[in-house]
Amino acid sequence: MANEFYRYFGADAGISLTPGANGRLEVYLDGEKIFDRSEEDGKYPDLTRVKELRDVIQAKVDSLGVAAA
CB under 8 Å to 21, separation ≥6 — which residues? none
Q: Which helix (H) or strand (E) holds 53?
A: helix 47-64
Residue 68 lies in a domain: no
Residue 45 lies in a domain: yes
- Number of structural domains in the chain: 1
| Structure-model confidence comparison of residues 4 and 12, the more confident one | 4
Q: By residue range, what is the domain housing residue 45?
A: 2-61
| Structure-model confidence comparison of residues 9 and 66, the more confident one | 9
pLDDT of 47 reads 92
Residue 25: CATH number of its domain? 3.40.30.10
CB under 8 Å to 44, separation ≥6 — which residues? 25, 37
Strands (E), 1-69: 15-19, 25-29, 32-36
CA distance 41 to 5: 23
Which tens digit of pLDDT belongs to each residue from 18-61? 777 788 888 888 888 889 999 999 998 999 999 999 999 899 88
| Structure-model confidence comparison of residues 32 and 69, the more confident one | 32
Residue 69 lies in a domain: no
Residue 7 lies in a domain: yes
pTM of the model: 0.74
